[in-house]
Amino acid sequence: MMPQVEPYSGWDNLRGILSRPDNVPILILIGLAVFFTALALRQAFRHDRLIREGRKQDVLRSMTE
């Protein structure tokens, strides 16, 4: 009979690597990059919608609010 072996998932290894103190600033930078990219895309889609609706003058107004 073959012994049962648990399938290896690298999550424990990945968690160990990412939780080391010298990697924490890198994780913070990745989080900030994702946040600001999502924010920029959200604003870009909003401005595209305003331009498509013919409200081009509202784009600048929404940027200054």
19-56 pLDDT per residue, tens: 899 999 999 999 999 999 999 999 999 999 999 999 88
* Domain coordinates in residue numbering, the chain: 40-65
Task: Give the per-residue pLDDT at 18.
Answer: 86
Task: Give the per-residue pLDDT at 61.
Answer: 87
- Model confidence, pTM: 0.66
Distance CA 28, CA 46 (A): 27
- Here the tokens at position 24 are 């924490």
**54 sits in which H/E element:** none
Task: Give the per-residue pLDDT at 2.
Answer: 65
